[in-house]
Chains A and B, each alone.
Chain A
Amino acid sequence: MRFWVPADAAARACGADAVAAAIAAEAARRGIPVEIIRNGTRGMVWLEPLVEIEAPEGRLGFGPMTVADVASLFAAPATHPKALGPTEEIPFFKRQTRLTFARCGRTDPLSLSDYEAGGGLAGLRVALAKKPEEIVDDVVTSGLRGRGGAGFPTGIKWRTVQLARAPKKYIVCNADEGDSGSFADRMLMEGDPFCLIEGMAIAALATGATQGFVYIRSEYPDAIAVMRRAVGIATAAGVIGDAILGSGHAFHMEIREGAGAYVCGEETSLLNSLEGKRGVVRAKPPLPALQGFMASPTVVNNVLSLAAVPWIMAEGPEAYSAIGIGRSRGTIPLQIAGNVKFGGLFETGFGITLGEIVNDIAGGTASGRPVKAVQVGGPLGAYHPVSDFELAFCYECFAEQKGLVGHAGLVVHDDSADMMALARFAMEFCAVESCGKCTPCRIGAVRGVETLDRIAAGDGAALALLDDLCELMKTGSLCALGGFTPYPVQSALRHFPEEFTPVREAAE
């Protein structure tokens, strides 16, 4: 018998290791030879640990599994209480457009042969047959924009690095995925690490870079371990190293671990950290594309931007740009989290509405209470009330509503959410994580907490002060941490003003 038990951190946090051990023990007890593959996650986190068994009709899913559910999996799988039927027929999975996550959950993450059998390395081979400027043109044509949150066209960034003249260039992957509600980078690195390596190798071919770094936050120990092993395997197999797939192009990769600093997700701060310095933000210009790591031309891209490239090269940029709406092309791996019935990763074309995501796909709240607000784009993203549910998922659509797509994480709150407390938390988080370089962020965040405390104590005059402070932080901060912290604060104020009035004191 062949079993798949995810080794993804979310599955393990819900008991996957114990379930895998129980399967091995039960098989031994029954004298049945079994193969247990530790795959990545299918992204249906509410079903984790999601165990699969091989059957003539395809892989059958069971979940969420516990150790107690294991014995009956051997006895009567068809009538098992946790039986889900064919995994890929589960509606949440079936209605996705999985391009970047095509292999995640299907394969053994560290099997290079699995990777190739699933279409891996096809994009890199296409790229090897092209001139660097043709690769860049393809990425521009695809319409791919930075998936880390800024939404800058990836191909334009690559072109700047390609045209720069320097003895050494770098590809830096930003895997400092610190936004609450986001886990797509982690899932991809744990579930399909070679996809990221392939994307980085293509970026190296396009730009002439010879060294790559993946900067992964220390809160992701599993992703760090998997990526380190994958880089070792890919180097030993000649996919990267002295000669990419035997070509004349060298590309070496190294995994670097962050040390607990949210601000290092900002690209210039990340570069300082990678250089061994305090992770303070750098003023731009110079652009990292021209003077990035060690003052050399550097591509800094998010995991999902780089991991989208192999598909684009293999299937053609037009196939990618055919999906999406407006200037938001291709697919976006949504991360649905917080108080939802069906939480997890859902990759789909841009254009789906917020309401479809929350009501249809996520199934509403886990608590069964009404949805109150959805924070989109991490701790710097706006709180959207239910009246925003018609909003289509695209960079410009959210910007128009004074929100942001960010890294496409969605955190759903039910009607018990305290919006004043959440606004205060946004300021408190900014104060904890500020790098300290610019005053609006360093001092502003502390003043923001104090001002919200005054409002909570019934000082209505402090409301105008808070708004003024937010405007100052937006316009005066050096990076998105100070510049976007006002988004959750002001959106909470705008949509839920009744929670910020001194009524509560008057009522007491």
Chain B
Amino acid sequence: MTDTARLSEIVASHAEREGALLPILHDVQAEFGFIPEAALDPIATALRLSRAEVAGVIGFYHDFRRQPAGRHVLKLCRAEACQAMGGVALQARLERALGQKIGETKDGITFEAVYCLGLCACAPAAQVDGRLVGRLDAAAVDALAEEMRA
């Protein structure tokens, strides 16, 4: 199936829903890894929106990407409960180990902040390629950095 056909299929599967745009964008991103430029017009047309409205929605939410992410995505929680358990130092340690700041994609690794994963009683926490990890310490983040670089 071509990308265009797959996109039409996704859009059609949600067209009857009330407020279909977010479900469509989630599925498009799940399929392609990001929201391709070429997807904007077909989505806008199907939902009778302007292209700018679709772009505006994509830009509003932290989750949606206009460019592909790295081959690994590491999200580290920066919120208060994780800070209370040494999260700030772990962030600095990861930044050193990965050679990149939080918020950057480099060498196939996307390192991002997340504000709470609901793992506040087993902080500090992170999400590694979708997998949740809690009770992080220096040794655990070193192992994560190794895993990311492999």
Taking the complex as formed, is A276 at the interface, i.e. its CB lies under 8 A from any CB of chain B? yes
Known: A183-B119, A256-B23. A276 touches B80 (CB 8 A): no
Known: A278-B60, A337-B81. A182 touches B120 (CB 8 A): yes
Taking the complex as formed, is A143 at the interface, i.e. its CB lies under 8 A from any CB of chain B? no
Q: Please give, as numbers and ranges, the residues of chain B lying within 8 Å of A429 by CB-CB distance.
A: 79, 115
A338-B19 in contact (CB<8A):
no
User: For residues 1 through 38 of chain B, which have their beta carbon under 8 Å from a beta carbon of chain A?
Assistant: 17-23, 25-26
Q: Please give, as numbers and ranges, the residues of chain A lying within 8 Å of B20 by CB-CB distance.
A: 276
Q: Could you tell me the distance between the alpha carbons of A340 and B56 in the complex, rounded to whole angstroms?
A: 41
B116 nearest CB neighbor, chain A only: A180
A259-B22 in contact (CB<8A):
yes
A411-B122 in contact (CB<8A):
no
Shortest C-beta distance, A296 to chain B (Å), equals 10
Q: Could you tell me the distance between the alpha carbons of A278 and B121 in the complex, rounded to whole angstroms?
A: 32
Binary B-proximity of A220-252 (CB < 8 A = 1, otherwise 0): 111000000000000000000000000000000
Taking the complex as formed, is A105 at the interface, i.e. its CB lies under 8 A from any CB of chain B? no
Known: A13-B133, A338-B123. A219 touches B114 (CB 8 A): yes
Taking the complex as formed, is A69 at the interface, i.e. its CB lies under 8 A from any CB of chain B? no
Taking the complex as formed, is A14 at the interface, i.e. its CB lies under 8 A from any CB of chain B? yes
Q: Please give, as numbers and ranges, the residues of chain A lying within 8 Å of B127 by CB-CB distance.
A: 219
User: For residues 21 through 70 of chain B, which have their beta carbon under 8 Å from a beta carbon of chain A?
Assistant: 21-23, 25-26, 47, 56-57, 60-64
Q: Could you tell me the distance between the alpha carbons of A254 and B16 in the complex, rounded to whole angstroms?
A: 13
User: For residues 91 through 144 of chain B, which have their beta carbon under 8 Å from a beta carbon of chain A?
Assistant: 114-123, 125, 127, 130, 132-135
Shortest C-beta distance, B41 to chain A (Å), equals 17
A46 nearest CB neighbor, chain B only: B121
B83-A179 in contact (CB<8A):
no
Shortest C-beta distance, B53 to chain A (Å), equals 8
Q: Max chain A CB contacts within 10 Å: which of B17, B84, B114, B125? A: B84
Q: Could you tell me the distance between the alpha carbons of A10 and B125 in the complex, rounded to whole angstroms?
A: 10
B22-A276 in contact (CB<8A):
yes
B126 nearest CB neighbor, chain A only: A13
Taking the complex as formed, is A344 at the interface, i.e. its CB lies under 8 A from any CB of chain B? yes
Q: Is the interface on chain B under 10, 10 to 19, 20 to 34, or 35 or more residues?
A: 35 or more
Q: Please give, as numbers and ranges, the residues of chain B lying within 8 Å of A192 by CB-CB distance.
A: none
Task: Select the stretch in A19-27, A319-327, A412-420, A496-504 that faces chain B.
Answer: A412-420
Shortest C-beta distance, B21 to chain A (Å), equals 3
Known: A221-B130, A411-B80. A180 touches B120 (CB 8 A): yes
Q: Could you tell me the distance between the alpha carbons of A344 and B88 in the complex, rounded to whole angstroms?
A: 22
Taking the complex as formed, is B85 at the interface, i.e. its CB lies under 8 A from any CB of chain A? yes
A257-B125 in contact (CB<8A):
no
The listed residue (A279, A343, A421) touching B120 by CB distance below 8 A is: A343
Shortest C-beta distance, A34 to chain B (Å), equals 25
Binary B-proximity of A161-191 (CB < 8 A = 1, otherwise 0): 0000000000000000111111101100000
Known: A178-B115, A219-B117, A257-B22. A338 touches B81 (CB 8 A): yes
Q: Could you tell me the distance between the alpha carbons of A421 and B121 in the complex, rounded to whole angstroms?
A: 22
Taking the complex as formed, is B82 at the interface, i.e. its CB lies under 8 A from any CB of chain A? yes
Taking the complex as formed, is A81 at the interface, i.e. its CB lies under 8 A from any CB of chain B? no
B62-A338 in contact (CB<8A):
no
**Complex A-B: 30 CB contacts under 8 Å:** A9-B117, A10-B119, A13-B119, A13-B122, A14-B122, A180-B80, A181-B79, A183-B119, A219-B114, A220-B118, A256-B19, A256-B22, A257-B26, A258-B22, A260-B114, A275-B18, A275-B19, A277-B21, A277-B57, A279-B60, A294-B19, A337-B84, A337-B121, A338-B81, A338-B123, A379-B79, A379-B80, A409-B81, A422-B80, A433-B115
B residues bordering A, Cβ < 8 Å?
17-23, 25-26, 47, 56-57, 60-64, 79-85, 88, 114-123, 125, 127, 130, 132-135
11 more A-B residue pairs beyond the given contacts A14-B122, A219-B117, A257-B26, with a C-beta to C-beta distance below 8 A: A13-B135, A14-B135, A180-B82, A221-B130, A258-B22, A260-B62, A273-B22, A293-B19, A337-B84, A379-B79, A417-B84
